[in-house]
Amino acid sequence: MRPVPNLLKPVEKGYVPLGLLISGRGSNLQAVIEAIAAGKVRARAAVVISNRADAQGLGRAERAGIETLVLPHREAPSRDAYDARLVHELKSRGVELVCLAGFMRLLGPTFCDAFPNAIVNVHPSLLPAFPGVDAQQQALTAGATVSGATVHFVTPELDAGPIILQAAVPVHRTDTVATLSARILAEEHRILPEAIQLIAEGRCQVVGDRVVIAPPASDAARRA
């Protein structure tokens, strides 16, 4: 059984210090920023880090007044060195929960061990189906009639960590990658902030390879 880190205890008055990693458009980042601003997520965006200087999401973060940092992975001597640098930048800003919001780099044990059960990723399929790149194309190629979005804890195995939330969408016969991606993306934007809030409320426990979600505190109090 994996140890459950302190982070998964409820955050009482404070806000979870969140680090967000991006590589591109940043629409999931935007969804998290808006959910925080609307008071739906008790987190504080401490920093947004991109491995690409041209990531559109950097502008979104700047407009929201969040510190941004560009760390090009090509400049690091090794994957491990890159991961260690990321860990350093996040930890030095007090980050306790990391959100991969369209971050297109594999993170190895150096990174994952630094944030046990405290890294979340959003993926455009119902994992474990269609991991890796081009998940929407994979669903179309397989003739799947249902696909969706998954938010999961990150482990060094690609798209294989414990699942926190999923949302299903239909796949239509007439779908293209663009139309299916848009339908899935709307669900990503909903479940990513929701998963972060569940973690902030201390309601996600990793038990074995699964996530167990506790009922809201109000329900627990009613039952007591």
Tell me which residues touch ligand GRF (CB under 6 A). Answer: 24-28, 57, 101-102, 122-124, 185, 188
User: Which residue spans within 12-145 are E strands per DSSP?
Assistant: 16-22, 43-50, 68-70, 97-100, 119-123
Closest CA to 66 of 98, 91, 33: 33
The encoded tokens of residue 64 equal 């929201």
Q: How far apart are CA 165 and CA 172, in angstroms?
A: 23
CB closer to ligand GRF, 24 vs 202: 24
Q: Which is nearer to ligand GRF, 11 or 171 (CB)?
A: 171
CB of 100 to ligand GRF, least distance (A): 7
Identify the sign of the CA torsion 141, 142, 144, 149: negative
Which is the catalytic residue, given 123, 152, 172, 189?
A: 123
- Cα dihedral 92, 153, 61, 16 sign: negative
123 catalytic, yes or no?
A: yes
Q: How far is the CB of 9 from ligand GRF (least distance, A)?
A: 28
Q: Residue 166 or residue 205: which is nearer to ligand GRF going by CB? A: 166
Nearer to ligand GRF, 4 or 144 (CB): 144
Q: Least distance to ligand GRF from the beta carbon of 180, Å?
A: 11
User: How many CB atoms are closer than 10 A to CB 41?
Assistant: 27
Question: Of the two residues 27 and 205, which places its CB atom closer to ligand GRF in the complex?
Answer: 27
Closest residue to ligand GRF using C-beta atoms = 102
Strand order across the beta sheet in which 146-153 lies: 68-70, 43-50, 16-22, 97-100, 119-123, 146-153, 163-170
Closest contact distance (angstroms) between CB of 123 and ligand GRF is: 5
Task: Tell me phi and psi for residue 142, to 5 degrees.
Answer: -75, -10
Phi-psi region at 14: left, alpha or beta (left = phi > 0; alpha = psi -120 to 50) = beta
In the complex, the smallest distance separating the C-beta of residue 88 from ligand GRF, rounded to whole angstroms, is 24
CA dihedral 77, 153, 50, 34 (to 10 degrees): -170
Return the active site residues: 123
